[in-house]
Amino acid sequence: MAPAAAVGVALLRLASRRWVRHAIPLALLLLLLLSLRAWSSRAPPGCGSRTQSCIPERTPPVQVPRQSGSLEAPEWEEPPCGGPQGVLGHVMGPFQASLDPEGDVVLSQYLAGWRALVRFLTPLGSIFAFATSEASAKVTALEARVHGPEAAHYSSLLAMAAWERREGRLERPGVAPRDTASSSGSRILLLLHRALRWSQLCLHRVATGGLGGPDAGVQCSDAYRTALGLHHPWVVRQAARLAFLAFPGRGRWLQLACPGAGEAEARAALVRVAGTLEEVYNRTQDLLAERGLLQLA
């Protein structure tokens, strides 16, 4: 392992032990994802409308801009990796299926998409191994509710949020649960939601980065600062900065995403995945904001 990577991993472990010892939840990130235990400020007044997101004061908007044409892939035959049995197809399929025609998010499909995303990201290095282990813990905790005795209330985001509010299960702003097992399903989803933003930004920038521009590590590090760094304590942000020095290059990403495909095909497939994650993120963001749930963590 390179010295920078070793230092990054060591700091990650130190950060994890320190904050767990003091019972302070950490957020993730693709991430994917350094930690999903996110910190955030109280939501400002006025949260709850489709036109105004619950965004902490002095932070940039978290809504992924719906970029005109930027996520449109060139018109050519879909490479095998993007098909139903391909590496990226396994990610896109369930996430697309999670977008209910009535405007809701189907939780079982959302979590299946996360499982596939974790499988794709884990081989990309130690920073993802740490982050995806956190994501997997959150996915497992929410799956226990989706498939548990109260499954009828966890079929979708809207059903879950309405039921947990009626039952008084939602956390008060600024009050963090002891662990994932005692968190509300809505809070767990919020942490995964933030992590999904990092993934979407990272994948899109890797896919569209030009020759001579920033490398994949720089682009995904910037995506981390945008999506998750705001919710992490200083020591985790510094560990992330070091870990990104050992981030895999763009070629490695493309090789894992589309084995055997050309660079142009692999980039196009990644763009399609990023577009799918953007759709899921934006819908989830709208629903969480409308219900004042962005302040849960």
Tokens (6 digits) for 15: 């950060």
Averaged pLDDT, 15-34: 37
User: What sections of the chain are H helices per DSSP?
Assistant: 3-21, 87-97, 107-121, 126-146, 157-166, 185-208, 216-227, 234-243, 250-257, 263-290
- Which residue type, as a one-letter code, is found at position 150? E
SS3 label, residue 156: strand
The reported pLDDT for the residue numbered 130 is 58
What does the angle CA 232 – CA 233 – CA 236 come to, to the nearest 5 degrees? 80
Name which CATH class applies to 3-290.
mainly alpha
Round the average pLDDT of the chain to a whole number and report it: 75
Residue that is written with structure tokens 């990796």 in the block: 81
**Tens-place pLDDT, residues 254-277:** 888 888 888 889 999 999 999 999
Q: Distance (Å, rounded) from C-alpha 147 to C-alpha 150?
A: 8
Least confident of 153-157, 177-181, 269-273: 177-181
In this model, does residue 240 exceed pLDDT 80? Answer: no
> Can you give the pLDDT at residue 69?
39
Mean pLDDT of 135-147: 93
- Please state, as a whole number, how many other Cβ atoms lie within 10 Å of the Cβ of residue 97: 14
Is 218 in a helix, a strand, or coil? helix
Write b or e for each residue in 248-266: b if 16 or more Cβ atoms lie within 10 A of its Cβ, otherwise e.
Answer: bebeebbebbbeebeeebb
pLDDT digits (tens, 9 = 90+) for 196-209: 998 899 889 888 88
Note the pTM of the prediction, 2 decimals. 0.72
Q: Who wins on pLDDT, 25 or 95?
A: 95
Lowest mean pLDDT, pick from 49-58, 136-145, 272-281, 283-292: 49-58
- For 80-117, the three-class secondary structure string (H helix, E strand, C coil) is HHHCCCCHHHHHHHHHHHCECCCCCEEHHHHHHHHHHH
* 196 phi, psi to nearest 5 deg: -65, -35
For the chain, the structural domain boundaries read 3-290
